[in-house]
Amino acid sequence: MFDALKELVNYFSDPKWSFTITTVVFVAALFWRRLWTNLGGLVMLVGVTLYFVVSMFDENFRLVVAKPDNVPIVMMVYFVGFFVWLSMKKAYDNDERIANGEPTFEKTEANDKIFTWPDLVFSEFICMVILTVLLVVWSIMLQAPLEEPANTAVAPNPSKAPWYFLGLQEMLVYFDPWMAGVVLPSLIIVGLCAIPYIDTNTKGNGYFTFKERRSEIVLFMYGFVVLWCYLIVVGTFMRGPNWNFFGLYEYWDINKVEPLVNVDLSEYIFIKMLGVGLPSFWLVRELPGILLLLLYFVVLPVGLTKLQFFKRYYDDMGASRFYVGIGLFLTMMLLPIKMYLRWAFNLKYLVHIQEFFFNV
């Protein structure tokens, strides 16, 4: 029975399934109040721990998860889960207080003042001591993954970035290095810095709430938990030799053959659909892709303002804030879109202008 279950998990580990499932389940879970209570948190904690413990009996799972390098990722699963749970619980509790006409938890707490010394500094000191002990024990118990002297002609297979960059490395599979390595990471940082200037709504300042900021919280959590943390988990546990994809219980076979022949949009249009061969001039060749991108980045935002949901934001934020915000949002959504296009059509690039090293 276990084998059948493992097969099932392996099958759904495939990114096109696991990414879809993670997205749907996570976004739906945010709206499920029962999950964000003490009982819900306990159930999730026990569930995840049980899953890890039972799975540890599988040799292939143990090889990957128990590797000293990968311990931080297991910790990340717990920490991200805990803090999402904590903030969502506080948010739901506050929403109920607000609905009953009571002051928020943070407001009742604001009257209790304590001293920096000893109350704050002392607990900081205790944290520091515990953390230091933990790091010392960790460094003694788990050996640093040192290998033979580096050789520029040989790369370990698979070659993985530091764990906190594995989301970026996953992005590199779907995008040109210039896009996934420079443009998108810069936009992540710039976009995060820009949030307070784009989103000037004061609801939720100084207190947790979900009801008053639903779309903003769902959007941010999607970007952080699914597009960043989940991709780190994928990069750590499911990317094996030759950067092939492996199910959680699958043996990392170096000779696994996966057909990954990728095709550009221009090749789809001109060769497969029109049957005329690729035009030699790059502008003509990439015109479909360029038009598609213009449609996505120029026509779509303008069109969205006609929808009631976005119209409200447009009126609140004003044109410049709205278009900058929606531009950043659409850039973020380019990643899942490109991932699905790759899985569904083996699409390589929408626009592939080798002549200028410009590929999207």
**Rule CB under 8 A: which residues touch other proteins?**
151-159, 169, 172-177, 180-181, 241-244, 255, 257, 259-262, 348-349, 352, 354, 357, 359
Least distance (Å) from other proteins to the CB of residue 176? 6
Task: Tell me how far the alpha carbon of residue 294 is from its chain's centroid.
Answer: 26
List of long-range contacts for 24-33, beta carbons under 8 Å, 24+ apart: 26/221, 26/222, 26/225, 26/226, 27/218, 27/222, 30/88, 30/210, 30/217, 30/218, 30/221, 33/92
Q: Which is nearer to other proteins, 122 or 178 (CB)?
A: 178
Cα separation, 288 vs 293, in Å, equals: 9
User: CA nearest 344: which of 237, 235, 263, 232?
Assistant: 263
Least distance (Å) from other proteins to the CB of residue 151? 7
Least distance (Å) from other proteins to the CB of residue 137? 33
Q: Quick check: helix, strand or coil at residue 359?
A: strand
Structure token digits, residue 219: 């959007």
Q: Which is nearer to other proteins, 18 or 359 (CB)?
A: 359
User: Cβ atoms within 10 A of the Cβ of 61, count?
Assistant: 20
Least distance (Å) from other proteins to the CB of residue 75? 25
Least distance (Å) from other proteins to the CB of residue 273? 21
Cα separation, 55 vs 299, in Å, equals: 48
Q: Which is nearer to other proteins, 118 or 156 (CB)?
A: 156
Least distance (Å) from other proteins to the CB of residue 54? 31
Cα separation, 290 vs 301, in Å, equals: 16
Least distance (Å) from other proteins to the CB of residue 282? 11
User: CA nearest 348: which of 285, 300, 279, 289?
Assistant: 289
> Which residues, listed in sequence order, are joined to residue 347 by a DSSP beta bridge?
263
Q: Which is nearer to other proteins, 105 or 243 (CB)?
A: 243
Q: Which is nearer to other proteins, 143 or 159 (CB)?
A: 159
Residues 6+ apart with CB under 8 A from 358: 176, 178, 351
Q: Which is nearer to other proteins, 57 or 357 (CB)?
A: 357
Least distance (Å) from other proteins to the CB of residue 357? 7
Q: Which is nearer to other proteins, 152 or 308 (CB)?
A: 152
Burial class (CB in 10 A: 0-12, 13-18, 19+), 116: exposed
Report the greatest alpha carbon distance in the chain. 78
Q: Which is nearer to other proteins, 92 or 175 (CB)?
A: 175
Instruction: Output the CA angle 42-43-44, nearest 5 degrees.
Output: 90
Q: Which is nearer to other proteins, 199 or 250 (CB)?
A: 250
Least distance (Å) from other proteins to the CB of residue 358? 10
